[in-house]
Amino acid sequence: MKQINFIKELKYTYMGGIFHLTFNVLLICIFII
């Protein structure tokens, strides 16, 4: 049970990280343009 919960949290952190990266790239692009 704990293992499944850990994997679920890991997935959410991974998705959040990707979202954060794309958001930062968008911000940088907006500042450059």
Structure tokens at 4: 């499944």
Instruction: Determine the Cα–Cα distance for residues 23 and 8; give it in Å rounded to an integer.
Output: 23
Determine the pLDDT at residue 4.
81
Q: Show me where the domains of the chain are located.
A: 1-33
pLDDT of residue 27: 93
**Within a 13 Å sphere around the CA of 22, how many CA atoms are in the beta-carbon half?**
5
* N-term to C-term CA, the chain: 49
pLDDT at 1: 63
Give the angle subtended at the CA of 12 by the CAs of 7 and 16, to the nearest 5°.
145
Question: For 1-33, how does the pLDDT look when each residue is reduced to its tens digit (9 = 90+)?
Answer: 678 888 888 888 888 889 999 999 999 999 887
CA distances from 7 to 16, 20, 26 (A): 14, 20, 29
Q: What is the pLDDT of residue 11?
A: 87
